[in-house]
Amino acid sequence: MSRLFSALALGPLTLPNRIVIAPMCQYSASDGHAGSWHAMHYGQLAQSGAGLLIVEATAVQPAGRISWADVGLWDEACADAWQPVLAGIRQWSTMPLGIQLAHAGRKASCHRPWDGGAQLAAGDARGWTTLAPSALPYASEDLPPQAMDEAAIAQLIADFAAAAQRAQALGFELIEIHAAHGYLLHQFLSPLSNTRSDRWGGSLDNRMALLLAVFDAVKAAVAPSMAVGVRISATDWVEGGWDLAQSIALARVLDARGCHFIHVSSGGLDGRQQIPVGPGYQLPLAQAIKAEVEMPVIAVGLITEPTHAEAVVATGQADAVGIARGILYNPRWPWHAAAALGVKVPVSPQYRRCEPLAQRGLFA
């Protein structure tokens, strides 16, 4: 029996297997609206055989987009744009669907990656003033962000909750709150980017307060049938920054508050980071957090081989494995994993005749 292909409950949502398609920004929206690229891209991934598809970081405010080409869910027009995309997926796939709600904070108002990814210059009509806990830019060449006041923080919390309600109305079954990779909620967590002296900064409890307020607001805004979890960077990989010990403390608090899962990544906050990149390089972080909480832990980071993914869940390092760039490169990764691990995988009938001769019986 394969553990990777066994069922997993994330709170009220049961996944058919433990392969999670992690959120990956597409930078292909118009005024925050999903379109034909998203229909094609997510429709393809919904035929992959994974246990869960989480769509890309979706901004809860226009100023929360990483780039001018990011998707959003800040108003009903954004929600309306998602409807045909999701309807097409639902017509042909039963794969559980989640959405990552996000705000980029100071790492916003940028070019698309293939246009260089740098922050837009002052005066560029596509740009805006970014927000952050403190007026500290991400890169020295960036424009200083605006430090958020109490009104801006209250609005942010309300906008996360409103976006969560729109996600529920659209039929998403899971919400992942993005507090990783140097974006706004991570910026509040890390003492490298949060130098406030009010109730939102300073002590660990104060730096965690905004993420916890957002989590509580989202949880209260949706039905109990909606799975709600958090993605974190477990360390900044910079001395004096956010680290594993603080992540464990945060995870314990989230667990006690009824968080349904935690998705463990790392880095992205500070250009000085020193990351020991290699296969499964973030697994020790996920494993350390898993030892301290009851909620399921999703591990991610260069877990590219089926046998490695199987070992991660079979040995208890994590409860599920997130696949990102690997499934962009190979959109049938779960099929190939099933073949390597000797298990059957369900496929749409349109694809049954492509079952390889050497793998007869692979398709359930």
Active-site option among 27, 42, 138, 183: 183
183 is catalytic: yes
Residue 37 sits at the vertex; the CA angle it makes with 33 and 111, to the nearest 5 degrees, is: 65
Placement of tokens 């433990």 in the chain = 18
Active site residues: 183
